[in-house]
Structure 1
Amino acid sequence: MLMEVKKSLKLMGFYFKFNLSAVMEYRVSFLMQCFGMALNNSAFIFFWWILFNNVNIIGGYGFTDVMMLWAISSASFGLCFITFGNVNQITRMILNGELDTYLLQPKDPLINILCSKTIISAWGDTLYGIILFFFIKGFNIKAFGLFLLFIITGALIFASVLVTIHALSFYSGNTEGIAQLTTEFLISFTIYPEGIFKGGLRYVLYTLIPAAFMVYMPARIISNFSLPMLFSVLAVAVMWIIIAYTAFYKGLKKYESGNLIINKL
């Protein structure tokens, strides 16, 4: 098991270097998209600053608390699509029978699929999140170490939830719409104060849409360290990875090859 994890990490590292070198071939375009996305996200700081000038507390959160949510959420989202850029293409590949190429290679098919592409604008989201963190916390080494850990766990949870949704395509056909809706829910719920969500919706944030483990609990841990909460976040990240792997590989047994070569003939 440990050997398989090492192989997967090595493959992810290879793809990361390859994708980075590929996008850097068009350096000007890469930098423009990165800074353009970071600048676009920065507009929301102004919005929240105006809002908190009129209201001191929203759902138990102050201005810097909300900015920390944005920093973790943005950097996690960015890292997810930097590393797992193909995650939203899984349904299309399943329906079009395009998984054959990956299944024939002597590597983990799921990691191979996910990491074979990067989204350039996602680098801007990650850059924005990191800059925003330093704006809030300054050069706090301990806090930044936790921040880096949580953007990794956040990215893994994000990708795992999407893989699980896309894997349903093996059974029920096109689930791209559900995956897109899930993405919007995850983003929306992670950038607003937890306190504004009431009733049963709060349970959803800790279960079906694990926004609490992606952003809310990490933000609390950075502000006020708690070892049990840290273990909870790590455990949920591992749990979602297992769910995603199980859903994908069980569904893969139902996959029908696209026979693309035959179709072209």
Structure 2
Amino acid sequence: MLMEVKKSLKLMLYYFKFNISSVMEYRVSFLIQSFGMILNNTAFIFFWWILFNNVNTIGGYGFVDVMMLWALCSTSFGFAYVVFGNINRITRMILNGELDTYLLQPKDPLINIICSKTIVSAWGDTLYGIILFFIVKGFDIKAFLLFLLFCITGALIFSSVLVTVHALSFYAGNLEGVAQLTSEFLVSFGIYPEGIFEGGLKIILYTLIPAAFTAYIPAKVIREFNPLLFLSVIAVALVWIFIAYTMFYKGLKKYESGNLIINKL
């Protein structure tokens, strides 16, 4: 098991370096897309600033608290699509029989598939969240290290949930729309104060759409460290990784080859 984890991490690192090299070949495009995404996200700061000028708190959250949610969600989302840029194409690849190339290679198919692409604009999301963190917390090294760790776990949870939904396409056909909605829910719920959600919806945010573990709980731990909450985030990330792997590889047994010859690179 440990050897498999090391191989997967090595493959992820290889793809990360390769994707960076590819992106850097078009530096101007990379800078424009990244800067454009930062500007797009920055517009929302003014919306919240105006809103909190008229109210003191929303759902128990102040302006700084909401900005921390934005920083966590933005960088987690960015990390996910920088490293696992192909997660949104899994359903399409399943339905079109495009997994053949990856299955023939002596590598972990899931890691090979999702890491083989990066989304350029996601670098802007990543940088935006980091900048916003420093604006909110200043140069607090301990808080920043926690922030980075939670952004990594957030990216893993986010990606694992999407892989799980996409893997259902092995059984139920085209669920690309459901996966897109899931992605939007994970981000949208994570950037609003937890206190505005009640009842069954709040339960969903701790289970099916685990925004609580990508934003709410990490924000609480950064504000005031709690070892139990810290460990709960790590545990949930591991659980979702296990679910994603299990669903994908069980579904893979139902995969029908498309008999396609595809040049991946």
TM value normalised by structure 2: 0.98
In the TM superposition, 1:193-204 aligns within 5 A as 193-204=193-204
CA apart distance, 1:260: 1.8
Counterpart of 1:189? 189
Q: Give 2:166's aligned amino acid.
A: H
What's 2:111 paired with?
A: 111
C-alpha separation between the residues in 2 aligned to 1:190 and 1:67? 11
Paired with 1:241 and 1:198, the residues of 2 have a C-alpha distance of 27
Structure 2 residue identity aligned to 1:79: F
How does 1:25-104 map onto structure 2 within 5 Å? 25-104=25-104
Which secondary structure does the structure 1 equivalent of 2:39 belong to?
helix
The number of equivalent residue pairs is: 261
- Describe the SS at the equivalent of 1:260: coil
**Deviation (angstroms), 1:20:** 0.5
Which residue identity does 1:215 align to in structure 2? A
1:241 corresponds to: 241
The residue that corresponds to 1:143 in the other structure is 143
Q: Distance in 2 between matches of 1:120 and 1:259?
A: 30
Once the two structures are TM-superposed, the CA of residue 116 in structure 1 deviates from its matched residue by 0.1
- In structure 2, the residue matched to 1:215 is 215
Paired position in structure 2 for 1:128: 128
Question: What's the CA shift for 1:63?
Answer: 0.3
> C-alpha separation between the residues in 2 aligned to 1:178 and 1:218?
26
CA distance in 2, matches of 1:260, 1:230: 46
Q: CA deviation digits over 1:106-151, x for unaligned, max 9?
A: 0000000000000000000000000000000111000000000000
Distance 1:53 1:169 in 2: 46
Q: Does 1:5 align with 2:21?
A: no
Could you tell me how far apart the structure 1 residues matched to 2:184 and 2:26 are? 30
- Output one character per residue of 1:62-102: Cα deviation in whole Å (capped at 9) or x when no partner: 00000000000000001000000000000000000000000
Counterpart of 1:29 in 2: which secondary structure? Answer: helix
Measured after TM superposition, the shift of residue 164 of structure 1 is 0.3
Which string of whole-angstrom CA distances, capped at 9 and with x for unpartnered residues, describes residues 218-247 of structure 1?
000000000010110000000000000000
Letter in 2 for 1:162: L
Supply the distance in 2 between the matched residues of 1:233 and 1:89 (Cα, whole angstroms): 27
- Counterpart Cα distance in 2 of 1:82 and 1:93: 19
Q: Read off the aligned partner of 2:144 and give its amino acid letter.
A: F
- Equivalent residue letter for 2:53: N
- What one-letter code is carried by the residue in structure 1 that aligns with 2:90? I
In 2: Cα distance, 1:143 partner to 1:116 partner: 32
Partner Cα separation in structure 2 for residue 65 and residue 59 of structure 1: 11
Aligned to 1:56, the other structure's residue is in SS state coil
Hey, which bits of structure 1, 4+ residues long, moved more than 3 A?
A: none
Q: Which runs of 5+ in 1 are unaligned?
A: none
| SS of residue matched to 1:54 | coil
Determine the structure 2 residue equivalent to 1:24.
24
Q: Give the Cα–Cα distance (whole angstroms) in 2 for the partners of residues 221 and 53 of structure 1.
A: 26
In the TM superposition, residue 47 of structure 1 has moved relative to its aligned partner by 0.5
Letter of the aligned partner of 1:252 in structure 2? L
Deviations 1:198-235 (A, max 9, x none): 11111000000000001100000000000010110000
Q: Deviations over 1:3-52 (max 9, x none)?
A: 11111011000100100010010001101110110011000000000000
Aligned to 1:228: 228
Q: Supply the RMSD in Å over aligned alpha carbons.
A: 0.5
The residue matched to 2:26 in structure 1 has which SS? helix
TM-score normalised by L of structure 1: 0.98
Q: Percent identity?
A: 78
Which segments of 5 or more consecutive residues in structure 2 lack a partner in the other structure? none
